[in-house]
Structure 1
Amino acid sequence: HALYAAAAAVLEGVESRQGSIKGLVYGSRFQNVKQLYALVCETQRYSAVLDAVIASAGLLRAEKKLRPHVAKVLVYELLLGRGFRGGGGRWKPLLARHQARLKAELARLKVHRGVSRNEDLLEVGSRPGPALQVPRFVRVNALKTCIDDVIDYFKRQGFSYEGRASSLEDLRSLKGKHFLLDPLLPELLVFPAHTDLHEHPLYQAGHLILQDKASCLPAMLLAPPPGSHVIDACAAPGNKTSHLAALLKNQGKIFAFDLDEKRLASMATLLARAGVSCCELAEKDFLAVSPSDQRYRQVQYILLDPSCSGSGMLTRQLEEPGAGAPSKKRLHALAGFQQRALCHALAFPSLRRLVYSTCSLCQEENEDVVQDALQKSPGTFRLVPVLPSWPHRGLGTFPGAEHCLRASPETTLTGGFFIAVLEREEVSSSVSQTEALGPELTPSPAPKRKQQQRKLAAGASTPPCT
């Protein structure tokens, strides 16, 4: 009941131009913002279809107290969504009275337009393309459980585990209740696209993190060892922060900064659910954090994932179907901030390794920002070559740009992403080339047998992710 009311309020706010879907969702008091965001985006995407069905069925004429935006959310859930499996409160019996008529009108609309699938009712710009067909990636939270136990749990629920994937084609062909272990990240499970796990007990208990594979790469490539001091410069909503904490095994310190009070509050809830205890949150502009402050004198690792255009985000395609590239003016402003943030991060005196990442596809926010930072600190930091077999590399705009990583639905079956790993030049040669190239050269073992599972469950340490 609360979910549908919140979704209707967001839709009404968007229609009256009170803000964007994302802003209104994060500004709501609904606890599960991801679930709310997904419902609003899907309802918005099918808005014209829902309006036609509701009008043809005469729903609002029959139920005069039912508000239009609530009706739209409810009819989406009944006809195209979960079918009120998650509840529905007092609205469920109300919709049940009109269920047959609504379904008949949806079927009639398909016949009229000569289509057989719901998705074919969408306008061309709103249909799910490759970006919306990427698999569902699920990171197992090593602070609360281990990969073997999670696999067993899903198998007991009727899922079929297919082992470690060997290619992108394995991921692309996933269907039904089959799932795989990602070929690169040893704590990442892969399910078919659109698998909804928001109501799953392991997710709600913080044992699982629903996180795109590309978004898991920054923490994995930063690879801070347990006991390290780390800065997460622009931290909310917190998935990467929780990943860093898992890599640290909650040993050490994460200083996490973000300016948005509401996003930071949501992040605090996420981190608490994930069992993170080594993180210090601060509602603060990272650019206002002094590198000479004694609290950060031991910081050797920084993850910088600054505000960006979001042009690679899968959810942006849901929220803004057919949206074009960001304007040059906006890109110029974003790139200016990103350049300042990266140069500021490189000024921390004990810094050894930094990962710069964005969920943008634009060169101005990616290669150009990295090139600018390297030119302003010549001989101090270098780009580290990572994951040599990763198929999508940085644009060749300057020497060494091929060491950067890019990701996209078409080439890596992930969201659009950019990642650069920078390392201080005088870092001693004890940092091996194998470590610099990344974990693909030192693959973790596949999930172990029952006896080893019981040892892990009893408190033995989980195999490191890198």
Structure 2
Amino acid sequence: MALYSAAAAVLEGLERGDGGIKTLVYNSRFPHVRQLYALVAETLRYSPVLEKLLAGAALLQAEKKLPPQLAKVLVYDLLFGKGLKCGGRWKALARRHRARLEAELARLKVQQKVSRNEDLLAPAQAASPGASQVPRYVRVNTLKTCVDDVIDFFKRQGYSYLGEAASVEELRALSGKKFLLDLHLPELLVFPPQTDFHDNLLYTSGHIILQDKASCLPAFLLSPAAGSHVIDACAAPGNKTSHLAALLKNKGQIFAFDVDTKRLATMNTMLMRAGVTGFQLAQQDFLTVDPRDPKYSRVTHLLLDPSCSGSGMVTRVPGEEAAPSPERLQALAGFQRRVLSHALSFPALRRLVYSTCSLHREENEDVVHAVLQEQGSAFSILPVAAEENPQRREGTEPGAAPKKRKRKKQRVKE
């Protein structure tokens, strides 16, 4: 029941204007934030359809103690989601009305002359969550296991392993219980879209991390050697931090910063479950961190994923800003320039990866070029197509044009 209650509370908070979906999800204290975010996002996407179904089935009139937002969540999962795998007494309540709700759904399809649930959505709603077409990426946590063992585990669960992908098209064609090894990242498995592993033993034990490919790229490109001292400047919720720890083989030190106490608490739980050691979490604005503090004197690698417009996120949901105003873009870019300049001031720094979830040049190329101009010849840009030439990960080819993939930038101190 905790999942449905938490989702309903987030929806109520959105309705009151208490904050955005990410803020409310992270502040919910629900342990599985990605699962909660997905349920809220999909319920919001189907909200107009759910309102019609609730009205047509007169569910709220029949169950006067059922809160409207909770009703939406329950009906979404009953008819469009996972089929009410949890829910206690509310689950039993929703199932009592299942026949009426399914009849109302069938009537709505006939009325709109469609056959698929997705076709009930308006074009903007149907197109908004590109995540429904994005493969499910699973990063093997090499602190606890290895790729071969995870592949064998999924085989025993009835999945068919198709080997290493040869092209992006192969990933897009995945369906059923089939999976591949990613063609770029060596510890990333790829499953069909919307494959759910939140209840899988490997996930709950921290042996696998549910992490999108774009989110895996920054740590992979930073590529710190075991024993390195690394800063994760804007760390929560911690997927990238756990990836850094895996690359370091838990040897070295990670300093991770975030200003939100609740996000850090969630992150600490996640890192402990993943078996991460040698990290220090600090509730602190990274801009207030003193680069001259002796404890950072050995920091050679830094991961910087600052706040941005989020315009490149495929999981955008209703209520999130899709097209930021020029004024907001300039404000974000100003902050990003400040934080990038600050990051480059750590005296032993050799390599930094700057990444955003934005498609706007103002938050990416313009920020990088402006800061590099200020720095003079101290830093240069490296190509990010590291997988095509291992030497590039070692910083041997500075100055080449960076490839765009979620606008990742990498630079090395000369």
Determine the structure 2 residue equivalent to 1:342: 340
Determine the structure 2 residue equivalent to 1:254: 254
Query: Partners in 1 of 2:399 and 2:107 — Cα distance?
Result: 54
Question: Is residue 419 from structure 1 mapped to residue 408 from structure 2 by the alignment?
Answer: yes
Determine the structure 1 residue equivalent to 2:113: 114
Determine the structure 2 residue equivalent to 1:368: 366
TM-score (norm 2): 0.95
Query: Partners in 2 of 1:303 and 1:174 — Cα distance?
Result: 32
Determine the structure 2 residue equivalent to 1:34: 34
Determine the structure 2 residue equivalent to 1:437: none
AA matched with 2:340: L
Query: Partners in 1 of 2:147 and 2:176 — Cα distance?
Result: 21
Query: Partners in 2 of 1:199 and 1:307 — Cα distance?
Result: 30
Query: Partners in 2 of 1:127 and 1:37 — Cα distance?
Result: 18
Query: Partners in 2 of 1:268 and 1:60 — Cα distance?
Result: 40
Q: Map of 1:189-228 to 2, 5 A cutoff?
A: 189-228=189-228
SS state at 2:180 partner: strand
SS state at 2:162 partner: strand
Q: Find 2:329's aligned residue among 328, 331, 342.
A: 331
1:432-458 Cα shifts (integer Å, max 9, x gaps): xxxxxxxxxxxxxxxxxxxxxxxxxxx
SS state at 2:380 partner: strand
Deviation for aligned residue 1:403? 2.6
Deviation for aligned residue 1:402? 6.3
Change (3 A) 1:103 1:364: same
Question: Is residue 315 from structure 1 mapped to residue 315 from structure 2 by the alignment?
Answer: yes
Deviation for aligned residue 1:388? 6.9
Determine the structure 2 residue equivalent to 1:92: 91
Question: Is residue 289 from structure 1 mapped to residue 278 from structure 2 by the alignment?
Answer: no
SS state at 1:315 partner: coil
Determine the structure 2 residue equivalent to 1:123: 122
Deviation for aligned residue 1:324? 3.3
- Is the CA contact 1:21–1:319 (under 8 Å) kept in the aligned structure 2? no
Query: Partners in 1 of 2:278 and 2:332 — Cα distance?
Result: 31
Question: Is residue 102 from structure 1 mapped to residue 97 from structure 2 by the alignment?
Answer: no
Determine the structure 2 residue equivalent to 1:354: 352
Q: Once structures 1 and 2 are overlaid, which stretch shifts more, 177-186 or 10-19?
A: 10-19
Change (3 A) 1:268 1:389: closer
Deviation for aligned residue 1:314? 2.0
Determine the structure 2 residue equivalent to 1:452: none
Deviation for aligned residue 1:264? 1.0
Structure 2: gaps spanning 5 or more residues: 389-397
Q: Tell me how large the CA RMSD over aligned residues is.
A: 1.6
Query: Partners in 2 of 1:169 and 1:129 — Cα distance?
Result: 22
Determine the structure 2 residue equivalent to 1:379: 377
Query: Partners in 1 of 2:144 and 2:270 — Cα distance?
Result: 13
Query: Partners in 1 of 2:360 and 2:19 — Cα distance?
Result: 24
TM-score (norm 1): 0.84
Change (3 A) 1:213 1:12: same
- Is the CA contact 1:160–1:177 (under 8 Å) kept in the aligned structure 2? yes
1:375-408 Cα shifts (integer Å, max 9, x gaps): 0111111111231788xxxxxxxxx98632323x
Deviation for aligned residue 1:261? 1.3
- Is the CA contact 2:164–2:181 (under 8 Å) kept in the aligned structure 1? yes
Give structure 1 regions of 4+ aligned residues with deviation exceeding 3 angstroms: none
SS state at 1:314 partner: coil
SS state at 1:18 partner: coil
- Is the CA contact 1:383–1:421 (under 8 Å) kept in the aligned structure 2? yes
1:229-260 Cα shifts (integer Å, max 9, x gaps): 00111111111100000000000000111111
Query: Partners in 2 of 1:200 and 1:112 — Cα distance?
Result: 39
Deviation for aligned residue 1:139? 0.3
May I ask how many residue pairs the two structures share in their alignment?
A: 404
Deviation for aligned residue 1:119? 0.7
Determine the structure 2 residue equivalent to 1:395: none
Deviation for aligned residue 1:228? 0.5
Determine the structure 2 residue equivalent to 1:183: 183
Query: Partners in 2 of 1:350 and 1:96 — Cα distance?
Result: 61
AA matched with 2:186: P
SS state at 2:355 partner: strand
Query: Partners in 2 of 1:375 and 1:339 — Cα distance?
Result: 11
Q: Once structures 1 and 2 are overlaid, which stretch shifts more, 24-33 or 333-342?
A: 24-33
SS state at 1:281 partner: strand
Deviation for aligned residue 1:263? 1.0
The percent of aligned pairs where both chains have the same amino acid is: 63
Query: Partners in 2 of 1:348 and 1:29 — Cα distance?
Result: 34
- Is the CA contact 1:367–1:401 (under 8 Å) kept in the aligned structure 2? no
